[in-house]
Amino acid sequence: MTATLADVAARAQVSPATVSRVLNGNYPVAAATRERVLRAVDELDYVLNGPASSLAAATSDLVGILVNDIADPFFGIMASAAQAAIGEERGAREKLSVICNTGGSPERELTYLTLLQRQRAAAVILTGGALEDPAHAAAVGAKLARLADAGTRIVLCGRPPLPGDSVRATLAFDNRGGGRRLTDHILGLGHRRIGYVAGPPERTTTRHRLEGHRAALDAAGLDLDHLVVHGSYDRRSGYDAALELLRREPELTAVVAANDTVALGACAALRDRGFSVPEDVSVAGFVDLPFSADAVPALTTVRLPLSEAGARAGRLALGLEGVPPGGIATVHGELMVRASTGPARPR
Amino acid sequence: MTATLADVAARAQVSPATVSRVLNGNYPVAAATRERVLRAVDELDYVLNGPASSLAAATSDLVGILVNDIADPFFGIMASAAQAAIGEERGAREKLSVICNTGGSPERELTYLTLLQRQRAAAVILTGGALEDPAHAAAVGAKLARLADAGTRIVLCGRPPLPGDSVRATLAFDNRGGGRRLTDHILGLGHRRIGYVAGPPERTTTRHRLEGHRAALDAAGLDLDHLVVHGSYDRRSGYDAALELLRREPELTAVVAANDTVALGACAALRDRGFSVPEDVSVAGFVDLPFSADAVPALTTVRLPLSEAGARAGRLALGLEGVPPGGIATVHGELMVRASTGPARPR
DNA sequence: CTGTTAGCGCCTTCAA
DNA sequence: TTGAAGGCGCTAACAG
């Protein structure tokens, strides 16, 4: 059978309490005793019983990272960076950071939060855009409040701030500002018939990026609402949306997409229709995933520092980094002008 | 304070045991009683204490999914599918499936296994290629044996079989066969000066795909070992490797890469050097990630059914699906011939 | 169908 | 610096 702490104690000829102290390193223990205990641990191949430990201590070393779609590198990169930052923390009780993939489903998001609450998680990091459904937002808010009550640290990464004080820290992407600058760039190239491929209507990222786009158009005195198409954040949706935009506006000269994946889908559709990018139609994305710079043509986009944000979220979750003033830090994107956008050339 | 099961029992005027039975649904409980209990649960906003429950039951509902690099969609897609399959299982105790990102580090792999062992995980899924270092392999083997002893189900997905009987089921990708067919295709197009961009030398996937490549060359009576370059599984490494191959063999007419990401990096390097794909140099990848079909030119590659394999691994981990004969199932890849490969044209 | 009774393995005062 | 003892919250026999 699996060795228990008592077994170790017996072998080391000390009390269970002493073994516990050695393992947790929270209390002074004589060097000789510690040696003996560690040897016994080794000999018995002892592994701490997590549940028992968590039960007694009333906390666990689990850190949950919630993502909407782990198959999307946007989340993969953030999660990877967060997990690396958490795994790096040597000393103390080592944290087990785990990624929970909600698949964008509100129910699964709540389920995971409950499961993490059940595990008495030490921290929870919520990444990416939130759902705007009020009922769901309220449910999540209530869940987070309860988690916070129980001592779980809550960090938001790439998600807009939440009212209330259950969230320890928020790293919010400046989606609105990025969207604004991107469309300003397109306008600066002389484009006036600009299509926009938005994400799912109910997500905050979608709305904010679109708001930035609209702000730029407003400033230019344009109203292009009829050239906004919504879809999911995947390649297929970008492909279909581009076709739809061409249907609505055959004279289209530019397509701005809600993210890079969607933008590349749009490029594919344009190519299939015989248009070349950027000669006939300019295309721009958002996020700057690793392959976007390698696409042909290289994609103009707004670079979000996903790794940096993820790592910082990880450190915030561990309390290794000071909370930004007001608990909220805005993370800005950088406009990356590349080959996929060029001067407007009316057809 | 957080409500406990006893609180619920008191409020529902039943014994704690009854509450437990209602919650776990393992024993018959009168409908009326159940109603009362559920109402009390709701009113008190009660959430089961996971550690306590796991301690008493001597098992937890954690399922760990180990991946080498979650920022790589290869792993994201498998993990996502596995997690979806696990999350789908309604009824019984719901499982909390979590993704653990080792970052390719042997130590972190062992750390995660220990942490999962500590949590008394219900199952562990190991995805992707394994390290071939004998010491590490032995350590992992020992860990897995101990996990299996403690009742944890072990499933391998996209990883070669392991000796011993601690592994419940293995889904092994036919990397060798796929590599063989891919290079056969290249040879069939008349190529003879073929470079190969391999992955990290110590990983099984690297070795197997390379063995397939060599087998094809052998059959054609070629020895091209001097045109094999190793690197990591990322875009950058593909870029650098392509340049190195051109240096070693300026007359190169084809590049076969260990995966799609690397292949696209190689394409970028070739483009930057003024070569066009496939007119001057053909390029092929492996895996068939979603963006590979959209690349320009579309990438010839070997399609691995990542989603299917991941989902199956998830079901195997839950015991929802029968173990294949011998515990091992070979998952074959499908050659996808697209625009990035064409007839050899000597320069 | 339901209540009673022991622990599960560890942490943490309290004493020594 | 170390030991003894109680309890964390739940589950699982065993009765009834």
Interface check for A50 against chain B (CB to CB < 8 A): the answer is yes
The average confidence (pLDDT) of chain A is: 94
Residue A323: how many CB atoms within 10 A of its CB? 15
- The answer to whether the Cβ–Cβ distance between A51 and B49 falls below 8 Å is no
Which pLDDT score, from 0 to 100, does residue B91 have? 56
Which 8-state DSSP code applies to residue A259? Answer: S
Q: Is residue A74 within 8 Å of A234, Cβ to Cβ?
A: no
Burial of A60 (0-12, 13-18, 19+ CB in 10 A): buried
Which pLDDT score, from 0 to 100, does residue B90 have? 63
* Statement: residue A92 has pLDDT above 60: no
Stretch B324-347: mean pLDDT: 95
Burial of A347 (0-12, 13-18, 19+ CB in 10 A): exposed
Angle at alpha carbon of residue B88, lines to B85 and B91, rounded to 5°? 130
- The answer to whether the Cβ–Cβ distance between A71 and B69 falls below 8 Å is no
Q: How far is the CA of A155 from the C1' of D11 (A)?
A: 34
Distance between CA atoms of residues B87 and A213, nearest Å: 37
Q: In 3-state terms, what secondary structure has residue A244? A: helix
Residues of chain B in contact with residue A310, where contact means CB-CB under 8 angstroms, are: none
Distance between CA atoms of residues A39 and A19, nearest Å: 11
Which pLDDT score, from 0 to 100, does residue A58 have? 86
Which pLDDT score, from 0 to 100, does residue A95 have? 84
* B226 or A345, higher pLDDT: B226
* B214 or B59, higher pLDDT: B214
Could you report the per-residue pLDDT of B75-109, keeping only the tens digit for each? Answer: 999 999 999 999 887 655 678 899 999 999 999 99
Stretch A9-14: mean pLDDT: 93
Q: How far is the CA of B56 from the C1' of C7 (A)?
A: 8
Nearest nucleotide relative to A9: CA against C1': D3
Distance between CA atoms of residues B246 and B262, nearest Å: 16
Sheet of A328-331, strand order: A328-331, A169-173, A153-157, A123-127, A62-67, A96-101, B96-101, B62-67, B123-127, B153-157, B169-173, B328-331
Distance between CA atoms of residues B262 and A50, nearest Å: 40
| Residue of least CA–C1' distance to D6 | A56
Distance between CA atoms of residues A158 and A287, nearest Å: 11
B321 band by pLDDT with thresholds 50, 70 and 90: very high
Instruction: Give me the residue from A50, A118, A294 closest to B119, CB to CB.
Output: A50
Backbone angles phi, psi at B340, to 5 degrees: -80, -5
Residues with CB under 7 A from strand D: A 13-18, 21, 27-30, 32-34, 55-56, 58; B 2, 4-6, 16-17, 20, 23-24, 26, 46, 48-49, 52-53, 55-57
* Statement: residue B68 has pLDDT above 80: yes
Which 8-state DSSP code applies to residue B220? Answer: T
A178 band by pLDDT with thresholds 50, 70 and 90: very high
- Window 224-283 of A: residues touching B by CB (8 A cutoff) are 235, 261, 264-265, 267-268, 271
Stretch B287-302: mean pLDDT: 93
Residue with tokens 């409040």: A145
Distance between CA atoms of residues B278 and B301, nearest Å: 14
Stretch B258-286: mean pLDDT: 97
A28 band by pLDDT with thresholds 50, 70 and 90: confident
Could you report the per-residue pLDDT of B9-41, keeping only the tens digit for each? Answer: 999 999 999 999 998 888 888 999 999 999 999
Which pLDDT score, from 0 to 100, does residue A90 have? 63
Burial of A92 (0-12, 13-18, 19+ CB in 10 A): exposed
Q: To which H or E segment does residue A36 belong?
A: helix A31-44
Which pLDDT score, from 0 to 100, does residue B93 have? 66
A93 band by pLDDT with thresholds 50, 70 and 90: low
Q: Note the pTM of the prediction, 2 decimals.
A: 0.93
Task: Work out how many CB contacts closer than 8 A connect A with B.
Answer: 171
Q: In 3-state terms, what secondary structure has residue B143? A: helix
Stretch A190-205: mean pLDDT: 97
Residue percentage of chain A with pLDDT more than 90: 85
Tell me the residue length of chain B: 347
- The answer to whether the Cβ–Cβ distance between B115 and A103 falls below 8 Å is no
Which pLDDT score, from 0 to 100, does residue A134 have? 95
Residue percentage of chain B with pLDDT more than 90: 85
Residue in B266, B128, B271 with CA at minimum distance from that of residue B198 = B266
Residue B277: how many CB atoms within 10 A of its CB? 25
**Helix ranges, A89-155 (H):** 106-118, 134-149
Q: Fill in the amino acid letter for A256.
A: V
Q: Is residue A187 within 8 Å of A216, Cβ to Cβ?
A: yes
Stretch B194-200: mean pLDDT: 98
Terminal Cα-to-Cα distance of chain B (whole angstroms): 77
Residue in A252, A262, A312 with CA at minimum distance from that of residue A286 = A262
Q: Fill in the amino acid letter for B167.
A: V
Q: To which H or E segment does residue B261 belong?
A: helix B260-272
- Window 293-332 of A: residues touching B by CB (8 A cutoff) are 294-296
Residue percentage of chain A with pLDDT more than 70: 98
Stretch B204-210: mean pLDDT: 97
Distance between CA atoms of residues B9 and B262, nearest Å: 59
Which pLDDT score, from 0 to 100, does residue B345 have? 86
Burial A71-83 (b: 16+ CB within 10 A, else e): bbbbbbbbbbbbb
Q: Is residue B228 within 8 Å of B210, Cβ to Cβ?
A: yes
Could you report the per-residue pLDDT of A310-345, keeping only the tens digit for each? Answer: 999 999 999 999 999 999 999 999 999 999 999 998
Q: Is residue B148 within 8 Å of B122, Cβ to Cβ?
A: no
